[in-house]
Amino acid sequence: MERNDSLLSLKIAVMTVSDTRGEADDKSGKILVDNLNAAGHDLVEKVIVPDNIYKIRAVISRWIADESVQVILTTGGTGVTGRDGTPEAIKPLLDKEIVGFGEIFRMISYQEIKTSTIQSRTLAGVANGTYLFCLPGSSGACQTGWSIIKDQLDSRNRPCNLAQLIPRLTET
C-alpha cells in the first residue's frame, strides 16, 4: 500500500455549551475553531447551545446523522454542577467510548491544575462514524484538549491516528 503524506482535511463541527456566553465572548469555541483551521481542517458549523441535555442532544444528533460532519468538538458542560450535562446528553448517543482520551486529558491537566482535574468529566467517543470530543469550558482546557486531539485528527500522524479510521473520509 502506498503511503500518502498529504493531510486529509476533516469536516468539523464545534458546539459551545453555555447559558451565559455569546459569540462575542466565546473564547473557548474560538480557540477550537482557530486551532482546527490552523491544522488544515474545515469548520462545518459552530453553535452555542444552552446547558440543557435535550438541546445539546438535538444538535449533536443532527450532526451525527449529517454525512458532511466527521468530527464534533464540544466545550462546556463537563463539570459537576447541577447544570453541567454534556456527558449525559452525549453518552447515550455513542456507539463506542474512547476512554483513553479522558485519561490522557486528566493526566496532562493534573500537571496544570493539580487535583482540580478530577472535576472534569471530559469524554470522547464515536457515533455513526463521527468522532466526538467533549472538553471543559475553560480556554486552558480547550488548549489542553486540542494538544491531544490534533495529532489523532492528522492523517499523517504515525504509528496511527483516528483520521484514517473515519469511514466517511473521501479524498477530493
150, part of any domain:
yes
- pTM across the whole model: 0.93
Residue-level pLDDT at 167? 72
Classify the C-alpha dihedral 7-74-145-45 as positive or negative. positive
115, part of any domain:
yes
Strand order of the sheet with strand 11-17?
Answer: 42-49, 11-17, 71-75, 130-135, 123-127, 96-97
1, part of any domain:
no
Residue-level pLDDT at 51? 94
CATH label of the domain that carries residue 112: 3.40.980.10
Does residue 172 or residue 59 have the better pLDDT?
59
Q: How many domains does the chain have?
A: 1
Band of pLDDT at residue 170, cut at 50, 70 and 90: very low
Q: Please write down the long-range contacts of 162-167, taking CB distance under 8 Å and 24 or more positions apart.
A: 162/131, 163/8, 163/10, 164/8, 166/10, 166/70, 166/71, 166/129, 166/131, 167/129
Read off the pLDDT of each residue in 8-17 and give the average, rounded to a whole number. Answer: 97
Domain extent, residue 38, equals 11-165
123, part of any domain:
yes
